[in-house]
Chain A
Amino acid sequence: MAERLANRLKDRRTELGLTQAELAERVGVTRKTVNTVENGVFTPSATLAIKLAAALELSVEQLFWIER
């Protein structure tokens, strides 16, 4: 069965009152990259996942998980 990397990026970002552009600026990527990660179109590298988790004040495991 196919596995996919699910995330709660959008929920957490909204909780913190951040826009995609603001989160992107914190992490040092473009809004497009945040958008694709949020929508599950793009699987981020470990580096980017850690940066996103740090920016959203969560652990990587809280932010991302594998869905089967």
Chain B
Amino acid sequence: MDDYMLGFLAGLAAVLVVAAIVKLLIRKKPMSVTEKAEYLSKRRARMLPMLAIIFLSQQAAFFSAVNSPAPHSAYAVKISAWLVLSIVILAALATKGFWLEPKEVRDLIDDENTRANRNEAMRWGFLFSMGGAIAVYALTLFDLSISARDAVHIVMTIGIPAALIRWGILERRAHRDG
């Protein structure tokens, strides 16, 4: 099997395992639709910054591997797994998320305030990505060669965690009793 495909499948399997564990934990508690939405919303607020940290730590592994003589297969697996995680995070940012939950729970989780927070997070992600792209572009003006793949990686490394952290902050603030 191709190394990239192996990494892709490994990443996908990891995502499915995490989703199944979350689903199993939730199933243990009998809850109404609103209670479940509240519970999941709070859980998401706690998870977002952690997800950003996991994503960033994966980037650290990638950038340290770029200049090291690591075997090609290990690099390919890492890249593919990273790609899966990036796609899953972007999908979670762009959609209601919680894909394994019933529609009424998903609709309630994605209520007006959540949509506003998500849009604000996406705005931050976009601005940070563009800032990163400008920085990379500026660096190339000083004869620093960066491959297209690394440039995209850097831009995503800046943009995605920025959106995740911003969303996490807004959600936690919204949950805080005042």
Contacts and interface: CB of A to CB of B under 8 A. Distances in A.
Interface of A: 21, 24-25, 28-33, 35-39, 41-42, 44-45, 48
B102 to A, nearest CB: 15
Interface stretch (B10-18, B47-55, B56-64, B111-119): B111-119
B112 A44 contact: yes
Interface stretch (B73-81, B126-134, B135-143, B169-177): B169-177
B3 interface: no
A36 B174 contact: yes
Contact of B177 (A28, A29, A35, A37): A35
A39 B174 CA distance: 9
Contacts of B174: 32-33, 35-36, 41-42
B38 A30 contact: yes
B158 interface: no
A48 B38 contact: no
Does more than half of chain A's interface fall in helix, strand or loop, or is it mixed? helix
29 contacts: A24-B34, A25-B34, A28-B111, A29-B112, A30-B34, A30-B38, A30-B41, A30-B114, A31-B38, A32-B38, A32-B111, A32-B114, A32-B171, A32-B174, A32-B175, A33-B111, A33-B114, A35-B178, A36-B174, A37-B113, A38-B178, A41-B174, A42-B112, A42-B113, A42-B116, A42-B174, A44-B112, A45-B112, A48-B112
Interface residues of B, number: 18
A4 to B, nearest CB: 15
Contacts of A30: 34, 37-38, 41, 108-109, 111, 113-114
Of B41, B171, B178, chain A has the most CB atoms within 10 Å of the CB of: B178
Nearest to B113: A33
Contacts of B176: 35
Nearest to B104: A28
Contacts of B109: 30
A36 to B, nearest CB: 5
B41 A32 contact: yes
Contacts of A42: 112-113, 116, 174
Contacts of B34: 21, 24-25, 30-31
